[in-house]
Structure 1
Amino acid sequence: MRGSKPRLDNVIPMKGDMTAPVPDPMSEMSAEGRAVWERVVPHVVQKGHWDDSFADMFAVYCEAAADFLKFTGEIAAFGAWYEVQTRNGMQQKKRAVWGLRQDAVTTMNQLAARFGLTPVDAARLKSGGQLDLFDDLMRQLDGTD
Protein backbone atom coordinates (compact mmCIF):
# COMPACT_ATOMS: atom_id res chain seq x y z
CA MET A 1 0.00 0.00 0.00
CA ARG A 2 1.42 3.39 -1.01
CA GLY A 3 0.09 5.77 1.63
CA SER A 4 -1.47 9.18 1.32
CA LYS A 5 -0.35 11.78 -1.19
CA PRO A 6 2.03 14.43 0.13
CA ARG A 7 0.63 17.80 1.12
CA LEU A 8 2.69 20.74 -0.07
CA ASP A 9 1.48 23.05 2.69
CA ASN A 10 3.46 21.17 5.33
CA VAL A 11 6.81 21.37 3.50
CA ILE A 12 9.24 23.77 5.13
CA PRO A 13 11.46 25.39 2.49
CA MET A 14 15.20 25.30 3.00
CA LYS A 15 16.79 28.65 3.76
CA GLY A 16 18.55 28.77 0.39
CA ASP A 17 15.23 28.27 -1.39
CA MET A 18 13.52 31.20 0.28
CA THR A 19 13.60 34.31 -1.84
CA ALA A 20 12.20 37.59 -0.65
CA PRO A 21 10.61 39.81 -3.27
CA VAL A 22 12.78 42.64 -4.52
CA PRO A 23 10.88 45.93 -4.34
CA ASP A 24 10.57 48.12 -7.41
CA PRO A 25 12.28 51.52 -7.42
CA MET A 26 10.19 54.57 -6.66
CA SER A 27 8.69 56.31 -9.67
CA GLU A 28 10.00 59.69 -8.44
CA MET A 29 13.63 58.56 -8.78
CA SER A 30 15.85 59.55 -11.70
CA ALA A 31 16.66 56.97 -14.36
CA GLU A 32 20.23 56.74 -13.03
CA GLY A 33 18.97 56.30 -9.46
CA ARG A 34 16.61 53.52 -10.55
CA ALA A 35 19.53 51.78 -12.28
CA VAL A 36 21.51 51.85 -9.01
CA TRP A 37 18.42 50.58 -7.13
CA GLU A 38 18.01 47.64 -9.50
CA ARG A 39 21.70 46.78 -9.20
CA VAL A 40 22.05 47.03 -5.40
CA VAL A 41 18.67 46.28 -3.76
CA PRO A 42 18.70 42.54 -4.66
CA HIS A 43 21.93 42.15 -2.67
CA VAL A 44 20.47 44.01 0.33
CA VAL A 45 17.34 41.84 0.23
CA GLN A 46 19.41 38.67 -0.11
CA LYS A 47 21.45 39.59 2.98
CA GLY A 48 18.22 40.11 4.93
CA HIS A 49 18.86 43.81 5.58
CA TRP A 50 15.73 45.07 3.80
CA ASP A 51 12.50 46.35 5.25
CA ASP A 52 9.91 48.30 3.25
CA SER A 53 10.19 51.18 5.71
CA PHE A 54 13.77 51.70 4.43
CA ALA A 55 12.65 52.51 0.88
CA ASP A 56 12.87 56.31 1.17
CA MET A 57 16.31 56.28 2.75
CA PHE A 58 17.59 53.74 0.24
CA ALA A 59 16.26 55.93 -2.57
CA VAL A 60 18.44 58.72 -1.16
CA TYR A 61 21.45 56.37 -1.26
CA CYS A 62 20.70 55.39 -4.86
CA GLU A 63 20.37 59.01 -5.98
CA ALA A 64 23.65 59.88 -4.24
CA ALA A 65 25.37 56.94 -5.99
CA ALA A 66 23.90 58.07 -9.32
CA ASP A 67 25.14 61.62 -8.67
CA PHE A 68 28.60 60.27 -7.84
CA LEU A 69 28.77 58.44 -11.16
CA LYS A 70 27.51 61.46 -13.09
CA PHE A 71 29.90 63.90 -11.40
CA THR A 72 32.85 61.53 -11.82
CA GLY A 73 32.13 61.37 -15.55
CA GLU A 74 31.96 65.14 -15.73
CA ILE A 75 35.29 65.48 -13.91
CA ALA A 76 36.85 62.95 -16.29
CA ALA A 77 35.57 64.93 -19.27
CA PHE A 78 36.29 68.51 -18.14
CA GLY A 79 38.84 68.14 -15.33
CA ALA A 80 38.63 68.84 -11.61
CA TRP A 81 40.04 72.36 -11.72
CA TYR A 82 40.44 75.45 -13.88
CA GLU A 83 42.93 78.33 -13.93
CA VAL A 84 42.17 82.01 -13.35
CA GLN A 85 44.37 85.05 -13.54
CA THR A 86 44.50 86.94 -10.25
CA ARG A 87 46.65 89.84 -9.11
CA ASN A 88 49.02 87.23 -7.66
CA GLY A 89 49.31 85.32 -10.94
CA MET A 90 47.59 82.19 -12.22
CA GLN A 91 45.68 80.18 -9.64
CA GLN A 92 44.02 76.81 -9.88
CA LYS A 93 40.45 76.58 -8.60
CA LYS A 94 38.37 73.46 -8.05
CA ARG A 95 35.31 73.17 -10.23
CA ALA A 96 31.94 73.14 -8.47
CA VAL A 97 31.32 69.57 -9.60
CA TRP A 98 34.27 68.45 -7.48
CA GLY A 99 32.48 69.63 -4.32
CA LEU A 100 29.20 68.11 -5.48
CA ARG A 101 30.94 64.76 -5.94
CA GLN A 102 32.41 64.99 -2.42
CA ASP A 103 28.90 65.63 -1.04
CA ALA A 104 27.60 62.56 -2.88
CA VAL A 105 30.47 60.45 -1.48
CA THR A 106 29.71 61.65 2.06
CA THR A 107 26.02 60.78 1.69
CA MET A 108 26.86 57.39 0.22
CA ASN A 109 29.28 56.56 3.04
CA GLN A 110 26.77 57.49 5.75
CA LEU A 111 23.92 55.49 4.23
CA ALA A 112 26.05 52.54 3.09
CA ALA A 113 26.94 51.92 6.73
CA ARG A 114 23.28 51.74 7.70
CA PHE A 115 22.49 49.16 5.03
CA GLY A 116 25.64 47.05 5.51
CA LEU A 117 27.05 47.89 2.06
CA THR A 118 30.68 48.06 3.16
CA PRO A 119 32.67 45.00 4.29
CA VAL A 120 33.06 46.29 7.86
CA ASP A 121 29.38 47.18 8.21
CA ALA A 122 28.26 43.90 6.63
CA ALA A 123 30.28 42.01 9.25
CA ARG A 124 28.85 44.22 12.00
CA LEU A 125 25.28 43.55 10.91
CA LYS A 126 25.97 39.83 10.50
CA SER A 127 27.33 39.54 14.04
CA GLY A 128 24.25 41.15 15.51
CA GLY A 129 25.80 44.46 16.47
CA GLN A 130 27.95 45.43 19.41
CA LEU A 131 28.75 42.71 21.88
CA ASP A 132 29.20 42.93 25.64
CA LEU A 133 32.75 43.85 26.59
CA PHE A 134 32.96 41.35 29.44
CA ASP A 135 30.75 38.61 27.96
CA ASP A 136 33.63 36.20 27.19
CA LEU A 137 35.24 36.79 30.57
CA MET A 138 31.99 36.21 32.48
CA ARG A 139 31.30 32.96 30.58
CA GLN A 140 34.79 31.69 31.47
CA LEU A 141 34.32 32.60 35.11
CA ASP A 142 30.93 30.94 35.22
CA GLY A 143 32.33 27.84 33.54
CA THR A 144 29.76 28.01 30.74
CA ASP A 145 32.39 28.46 28.04
Structure 2
Amino acid sequence: MGKRGPAAKPTALRVLHGDRADRINADEPEPPEDEVRCPDWASDDARAIWQRLAPGLEDRGVLTPWDVDAFLVLCEALARYRSATQLVNGSALLVQGGSGLMKNPALQVQAEAERTFLQFAARFGLTPSDRQSIKVEVGRDGNKGGAERLLS
Protein backbone atom coordinates (compact mmCIF):
# COMPACT_ATOMS: atom_id res chain seq x y z
CA MET A 1 0.00 0.00 0.00
CA GLY A 2 1.36 3.42 -0.93
CA LYS A 3 1.69 6.56 1.14
CA ARG A 4 -1.57 8.18 2.16
CA GLY A 5 -2.59 11.79 1.87
CA PRO A 6 -1.37 14.52 -0.44
CA ALA A 7 2.14 14.48 -1.84
CA ALA A 8 4.75 16.17 0.32
CA LYS A 9 5.51 19.78 -0.48
CA PRO A 10 9.03 20.25 -1.95
CA THR A 11 11.58 21.63 0.52
CA ALA A 12 12.26 24.73 -1.59
CA LEU A 13 8.55 25.54 -1.50
CA ARG A 14 8.41 25.00 2.28
CA VAL A 15 11.23 27.52 2.73
CA LEU A 16 9.56 30.01 0.40
CA HIS A 17 6.25 29.71 2.27
CA GLY A 18 7.98 30.23 5.61
CA ASP A 19 7.16 26.85 7.16
CA ARG A 20 8.50 26.24 10.67
CA ALA A 21 12.18 25.33 10.74
CA ASP A 22 11.51 21.98 12.45
CA ARG A 23 9.29 20.97 9.53
CA ILE A 24 11.96 21.63 6.90
CA ASN A 25 14.43 18.89 6.01
CA ALA A 26 17.73 20.78 5.96
CA ASP A 27 19.56 17.56 5.09
CA GLU A 28 17.51 16.65 2.02
CA PRO A 29 19.78 14.92 -0.51
CA GLU A 30 20.19 16.68 -3.83
CA PRO A 31 21.13 14.83 -7.01
CA PRO A 32 24.35 15.91 -8.72
CA GLU A 33 24.29 18.14 -11.77
CA ASP A 34 25.80 15.37 -13.93
CA GLU A 35 24.63 14.66 -17.45
CA VAL A 36 21.65 12.32 -17.71
CA ARG A 37 22.37 9.48 -20.16
CA CYS A 38 20.29 6.57 -21.35
CA PRO A 39 21.80 3.30 -20.06
CA ASP A 40 23.64 1.13 -22.58
CA TRP A 41 21.39 -1.85 -21.91
CA ALA A 42 18.19 -0.07 -23.01
CA SER A 43 16.34 -1.60 -25.96
CA ASP A 44 16.27 0.32 -29.24
CA ASP A 45 12.57 1.14 -28.86
CA ALA A 46 13.05 2.38 -25.29
CA ARG A 47 16.06 4.44 -26.40
CA ALA A 48 13.90 6.18 -29.03
CA ILE A 49 11.28 6.99 -26.37
CA TRP A 50 14.03 8.23 -24.05
CA GLN A 51 15.36 10.57 -26.75
CA ARG A 52 11.86 11.96 -27.27
CA LEU A 53 10.90 12.54 -23.62
CA ALA A 54 14.10 12.99 -21.60
CA PRO A 55 15.30 16.39 -22.87
CA GLY A 56 12.18 18.24 -21.72
CA LEU A 57 12.15 16.54 -18.34
CA GLU A 58 15.83 17.20 -17.83
CA ASP A 59 15.44 20.88 -18.75
CA ARG A 60 12.77 21.25 -16.05
CA GLY A 61 14.83 19.44 -13.42
CA VAL A 62 12.39 16.53 -13.18
CA LEU A 63 14.84 13.98 -14.60
CA THR A 64 18.15 13.77 -12.72
CA PRO A 65 21.00 11.23 -12.69
CA TRP A 66 19.30 9.51 -9.74
CA ASP A 67 16.13 8.96 -11.79
CA VAL A 68 17.74 7.20 -14.75
CA ASP A 69 16.69 3.66 -13.81
CA ALA A 70 13.09 4.60 -12.99
CA PHE A 71 12.81 6.56 -16.21
CA LEU A 72 14.19 3.63 -18.19
CA VAL A 73 11.50 1.38 -16.66
CA LEU A 74 8.95 3.90 -17.96
CA CYS A 75 10.52 3.89 -21.44
CA GLU A 76 10.72 0.08 -21.57
CA ALA A 77 7.08 -0.22 -20.43
CA LEU A 78 5.95 2.15 -23.17
CA ALA A 79 8.02 0.22 -25.74
CA ARG A 80 6.41 -3.06 -24.53
CA TYR A 81 2.97 -1.46 -24.68
CA ARG A 82 3.62 -0.32 -28.24
CA SER A 83 4.78 -3.82 -29.31
CA ALA A 84 1.82 -5.54 -27.63
CA THR A 85 -0.58 -3.07 -29.24
CA GLN A 86 0.87 -3.86 -32.67
CA LEU A 87 0.40 -7.59 -31.97
CA VAL A 88 -3.20 -7.07 -30.86
CA ASN A 89 -3.97 -4.86 -33.85
CA GLY A 90 -2.50 -7.46 -36.20
CA SER A 91 -4.49 -10.39 -34.81
CA ALA A 92 -7.82 -11.26 -33.24
CA LEU A 93 -8.84 -10.51 -29.66
CA LEU A 94 -9.65 -14.20 -29.25
CA VAL A 95 -7.19 -16.88 -30.37
CA GLN A 96 -7.30 -20.65 -30.50
CA GLY A 97 -5.89 -22.18 -27.34
CA GLY A 98 -5.51 -25.69 -25.97
CA SER A 99 -9.12 -25.85 -24.80
CA GLY A 100 -10.79 -23.68 -27.42
CA LEU A 101 -10.99 -19.94 -27.84
CA MET A 102 -9.12 -17.83 -25.31
CA LYS A 103 -8.20 -14.18 -24.83
CA ASN A 104 -5.18 -13.12 -26.86
CA PRO A 105 -2.15 -13.25 -24.47
CA ALA A 106 -0.86 -10.00 -26.00
CA LEU A 107 -3.78 -8.24 -24.27
CA GLN A 108 -2.33 -9.20 -20.87
CA VAL A 109 1.13 -7.97 -21.85
CA GLN A 110 -0.45 -4.76 -23.11
CA ALA A 111 -2.40 -4.22 -19.87
CA GLU A 112 0.63 -4.89 -17.64
CA ALA A 113 2.81 -2.52 -19.68
CA GLU A 114 0.10 0.13 -19.52
CA ARG A 115 -0.15 -0.15 -15.72
CA THR A 116 3.63 0.07 -15.33
CA PHE A 117 3.86 3.04 -17.68
CA LEU A 118 1.08 4.97 -15.95
CA GLN A 119 2.53 4.29 -12.51
CA PHE A 120 5.96 5.60 -13.51
CA ALA A 121 4.56 8.38 -15.72
CA ALA A 122 2.85 9.81 -12.63
CA ARG A 123 6.23 10.14 -10.91
CA PHE A 124 7.54 12.26 -13.78
CA GLY A 125 4.34 14.26 -14.38
CA LEU A 126 3.76 12.87 -17.87
CA THR A 127 -0.05 12.85 -17.69
CA PRO A 128 -2.20 15.99 -17.34
CA SER A 129 -3.69 15.00 -13.98
CA ASP A 130 -0.25 14.22 -12.54
CA ARG A 131 1.36 17.39 -13.90
CA GLN A 132 -0.87 19.59 -11.76
CA SER A 133 0.58 18.08 -8.57
CA ILE A 134 4.26 18.57 -9.49
CA LYS A 135 5.98 21.86 -8.84
CA VAL A 136 9.26 22.62 -10.59
CA GLU A 137 11.38 25.71 -10.60
CA VAL A 138 11.99 26.99 -14.09
CA GLY A 139 15.41 28.50 -14.30
CA ARG A 140 17.74 26.42 -16.39
CA ASP A 141 16.61 28.01 -19.64
CA GLY A 142 16.74 31.60 -18.41
CA ASN A 143 13.25 31.94 -16.95
CA LYS A 144 13.01 33.10 -13.36
CA GLY A 145 12.26 30.42 -10.84
CA GLY A 146 11.38 30.19 -7.17
CA ALA A 147 11.57 33.36 -5.08
CA GLU A 148 12.92 35.45 -7.98
CA ARG A 149 9.76 34.80 -9.96
CA LEU A 150 7.49 35.64 -7.04
CA LEU A 151 9.35 38.76 -5.93
CA SER A 152 9.78 40.40 -9.32
What TM-score do you get using the length of structure 1 for normalisation?
0.64
What letter is aligned with 1:43? Answer: G
Counterpart position of 1:54: 67
Per-residue CA deviations over 1:84-143 (Å, capped at 9, x if unaligned) read 696xxxx64111111011000000010000111111111100289xxxxxxxxxxxxxxx
What's the CA shift string for 1:64-94, capped at 9, x where partnerless?
Answer: 00000011011111122224696xxxx6411
Structure 1 CA distance for aligned equivalents of residues 98 and 46 of structure 2:
39
Aligned to 2:133: 124
Between the aligned partners of 1:101 and 1:21, the Cα distance in structure 2 is 34
1:22·1:41 contact (CA, 8 Å) conserved in 2?
no
Asked if 1:79 is matched to 2:92, the reply is yes
Identity %, equivalent residues: 28
One-letter identity of the residue aligned with 1:124: S
Tell me the matched-pair count: 105
Whether the aligned pair in 1 keeps the contact of 2:121 and 2:127 (CA below 8 Å) is yes
The unaligned stretches of length 5 or more in structure 2 are: 1-32, 138-152
User: How many Å separate the matches in 2 of 1:24 and 1:72?
Assistant: 28
The 8 Å contact of residues 50 and 75 in structure 2, kept in 1 or not, is answered as yes
Counterparts in 2 of 1:85-124, with a 5 A limit?
92-124=101-133
- Structure-2-length-normalised TM-score: 0.61
- The root-mean-square deviation of aligned C-alpha atoms, in Å, is 2.4
> Does the 8 Å CA contact 1:82/1:92 hold for their aligned counterparts?
yes
Matched, 1:43 2:56: yes
Counterpart Cα distance in 1 of 2:49 and 2:57? 12
- Matched position secondary structure for 1:45: helix
- Structure-2 separation of matches of 1:21 and 1:122: 25
In structure 2, distance between residues paired with 1:57 and 1:100? 19
> Counterpart of 1:64?
77
Q: Distance in 1 between matches of 2:66 and 2:135?
A: 20
Runs (4+) of structure 1 exceeding 2 A deviation are: 20-24, 83-86
**Aligned position for 1:32:** 45
Q: Which residue of 2 aligns with 1:4?
A: none
Higher helix proportion: 1
In structure 1, C-alpha distance between the alignment counterparts of 2:122 and 2:87, rounded to whole Å: 27
